[in-house]
Structure 1
Amino acid sequence: MIRNIQAMIPGVATSDGAGVKLRRSLGGQQQVRLDPFLMLDEFSSNDPNDYVAGFPAHPHRGFETVTYMLEGHMLHEDHLGNQGHLKTGGVQWMTAGRGIIHSEMPQQVSGAMRGFQLWINLPAKEKMKAAAYQDIQVEDIPKVVLVNGGVVKVIAGAYENNGVIVQGPIQGITTTPLFLDVQLAPHAEFEHRIPKELNAFAYVYEGELRIGSPLQEASKQAAIVLGSGDDFKAKAGAQGAQFIILAALPLHEPIVQYGPFVMNTRAEIEQAIDDYQNNRFVIS
């Protein structure tokens, strides 16, 4: 069964960190989520005034953050001593778990800064596990060249190409996330199986794309929520298309969010605030 477009959530202009301009689709309002996805931001600018202030040190608890750089250079540092240079094509996959304090600061004062940040919820049993960090360089992300001249970058999960299964560097996560970055040639078609038990959405950041059967135009710079089914089908427009596909197992658990803390109950949020204010993130 082919997945058709169920909803389109446009990215709304906002800012975060110390004033970084971005577009937020999922998470723009707290109830506008797609379990287990909490938030999706796209940042894109050639003006350093839009990004140079970066994201100074701030805390997280209870979920995972994924930063994917299309263009640019940022430095990640956290209270656990991790340091990673996030450069064009690279990915930072961070599990906040019971608590982490980190910063993401631009390492450039001119040129383009472009990419995505995604928040993925953790199940209740894993929200207080130890924080972890993975710095994935562009050369560690498999690229599959399609017969029509397109390219699929496999960041998480797997992509099957002519009977060969290509695994991304991110594996072993409870929600079994799929994260593909797809570039299609003009008028090219694309198909990928997405198991029916996963929630899924796409985000078109260049060109034009139609999705489903019958094909329906997908809005650019919007979270394109996909309906039930087990097959994703799309076709690029005259200028080709570039888009990301994300899918994961829903958790079906209550969500209570207070800024950078995402837990299951109000009491757990109050505990997170108290732990942060009393420096327990640093010693945990």
Structure 2
Amino acid sequence: MTARSIKQLIPSRQVSDGAGVKIQRSLGLTQQLRLDPFLMLDCFGSDQASDYLAGFPAHPHRGFETVTYMLHGHMLHEDHMGNKGHLKSGGVQWMTAGRGIIHSEMPQQESGLMQGFQLWLNLPAAEKMKDAAYVDIAPEDIPVLQLDAGHQVKVIAGQFRSEQHQLDGAIRGLSTDPQYYDLHLVAGQSLHIELPEDYQALVYPYEQAVTILHGDTSSKVPMHQAAVLTAGSTLQVQADQDSKLLVLAGKPIGEPVAQYGPFVMNTSEEIEQAIRDYQTGTLTGDKPLQSIQI
């Protein structure tokens, strides 16, 4: 059993996306700040309507998956096939762009707090041109585990494992086997998590800092910084105050990445083809979106 430690800290930086939505971006700030298979991690959160009301009008994607996790608020997804999905507090939308999708994500509130995350998850070359798909996961369909020490774990994807507990998430069976947990930690208590040793992994505290314990040493992860972890089969995390954080892990794809905005392929030639397909209206092909079965 090898404990993971911190390899790199990536502070988030405020950027704007969509029609001017203010977000905190850590992973994906530059093309060098990726963690195969993860391409980007955005945290959005504001109670100022002017920071989010413009939303994300219709835009394309190809070659990867987007995972939107809404902590607070209400967004509406609409796509080129006429599908609609309401993403509300505590819910998740898992969308596979595949060969192409054109969609919008627009706020359905005019005031109040809107907070959540969007993760971009890469697809291997063999899957980049498959049919697009998406699923809306209601809050009540996300498994939650209450631990003896008072900690809480929401398992969005993968399989959570600790010394005494195991719980399957809402999404499983993908080729990159993503592990996506939302942990709520109690002050002064630590938590041991088991992770596949050869998977890339990171933690992202979004309420208060946390500490990674590694043998006799410890390293603090400030709030809104992504801590890329070393290889290992276990992670021990502790909170000095009640804290909330994401834990992400996934099987590396190990292929070249070529990206131009919302298109993520393996070569520059494939990117040029994606741009041509979008310009000529053939990005999405002629097949309808398929629903993923949970």
Deviations 1:222-264 (A, max 9, x none): 1110001110101101x21100000000111000000000000
What are the within-5 Å matches in structure 2 for residues 96-135 of structure 1? 96-135=97-136
Matched, 1:215 2:211: no
Distance 2:248 2:73 in 1: 22
Bigger mean CA offset, 81-90 vs 109-118:
81-90
Looking at structure 1, the residues matched to 198 and 131 of structure 2 have their Cα atoms a distance apart, in angstroms, of 28
Contact 1:215 1:234 in 2 (8 A): no
- Find out whether 1:53 has 2:57 as its counterpart: no
1:256 corresponds, among 255, 258, 265, to: 258
Q: Is the 8 A contact 2:23 2:42 kept in 1?
A: yes
Describe how 1:1-284 pairs up with structure 2 within 5 A: 1-160=2-161, 163-213=164-214, 214-237=217-240, 239-284=241-286
Q: Which ranges in structure 2 are unaligned for 5 or more consecutive residues?
A: 287-294
User: Displacement, 1:281?
Assistant: 2.6
Inter-partner Cα distance in structure 2 for 1:114 and 1:211: 25
| Deviation of 1:162 (Å) | 6.4
Runs of 4+ in 1 over 2 A off after TM superposition: 160-165, 281-284
Two-structure CA RMSD over aligned residues (Å): 1.0
Deviations 1:63-110 (A, max 9, x none): 000000011000011112321100001000000000000110000000
Shift of 1:161: 5.6
TM-score (norm 2): 0.94
* C-alpha contact (below 8 Å) 2:162/2:193 kept by paired residues: no
User: Equivalent pairs: percent with the same residue?
Assistant: 55
Number of equivalenced pairs:
283
- Cα pair 2:185 2:243 within 8 Å, conserved: yes
Give me the whole-angstrom Cα distance separating, in 1, the residues matched to 2:23 and 2:210: 22
1:149 Cα offset (Å): 1.4
User: Any conservation in 1 of the 2:77–2:84 contact (CA below 8 Å)?
Assistant: yes
Q: Is the 8 A contact 1:82 1:133 kept in 2?
A: no
| Structure 1: runs of 5 or more not aligned | none
Alpha-carbon contact 1:157-1:176 (below 8 Å) kept = yes
